[in-house]
Chains A and B, each alone.
Chain A
Amino acid sequence: GAVVSQHPSRVICKSGTSVKIECRSLDFQATTMFWYRQFPKQSLMLMATSNEGSKATYEQGVEKDKFLINHASLTLSTLTVTSAHPEDSSFYICSAKSDSGNTIYFGEGSWLTVV
């Protein structure tokens, strides 16, 4: 079946540095991908919708200059957390909408810890 791979699954970075998380659709093309974030004991919250070849659409309250999204190909979207701070520590998960249908597939998620 369709698979979405996220990398890295866990990452620890120092405060002030940037970290990139990749989201790949392995056997299907995805013009549209989504990035979610989940803080402990809270819901998965949509951060942004990533569209191949165009700028991402950010949800209200999400800083686009801090969370840089690049969707340069039909199988890859990246989320870069810039100048990371401890409060950015969270679970980040992506999903991809198959171009051949309306089905959405999720990645495994990435745990980010900023120390």
Chain B
Amino acid sequence: GNSVTQMEGPVTLSEEAFLTINCTYTATGYPSLFWYVQYPGEGLQLLLKATKADDKGSNKGFEATYRKETTSFHLEKGSVQVSDSAVYFCALSDRRGMNTGFQKLVFGTGTRLLVSP
């Protein structure tokens, strides 16, 4: 079945460091790919997404490119801030239940990012 594999955290960085959180997936067909972020005490929020191969999703300085050839969707940011400390989840859409118009999400384990001043 479909699955998502993320690097295990926590990832600990100093402010202004470069961030990469690896994500690879296994899926049949052509899923959409997502990164969600969960700040302390809050719900998951959609950070960015890509719906087809070679698409690049970007938001708040974060980027991820849908690489079909390597089945990857790595999250990157050039200069992290303390406020980026959170748990990041990679996910893909599972297109079961197409008649509902909703794509069920398959998540990775989440990667905690800790950014120190």
Q: Which A residues lie at the B interface, using CB under 8 A? A: 3-4, 6, 9, 32, 34, 36, 38, 41-46, 49, 93, 95, 97, 102-109
Contacts and interface: CB of A to CB of B under 8 A. Distances in A.
A108 B43 contact: yes
B43 A46 contact: no
Interface string B44-67: 111000000000000000000000
Interface stretch (B10-18, B78-86, B100-108): B100-108
Given A32-B100, A32-B102, A44-B89, A106 B107 contact: no
A104 B38 CA distance: 14
A43 B100 contact: no
Size category of the B interface is 20 to 34
Given A32-B102, A43-B107, A43-B110, 19 more contacts: A4-B43, A9-B41, A32-B100, A34-B104, A38-B110, A42-B109, A43-B4, A43-B108, A44-B89, A44-B107, A45-B107, A46-B105, A95-B43, A103-B46, A104-B102, A106-B45, A108-B41, A108-B42, A109-B38
A102 B102 contact: yes
Interface of B: 3-4, 8, 36, 38, 41-46, 89, 97, 100-102, 104-110
A108 B104 CA distance: 19
Contacts of B44: 93, 95, 106
Contacts of A34: 104
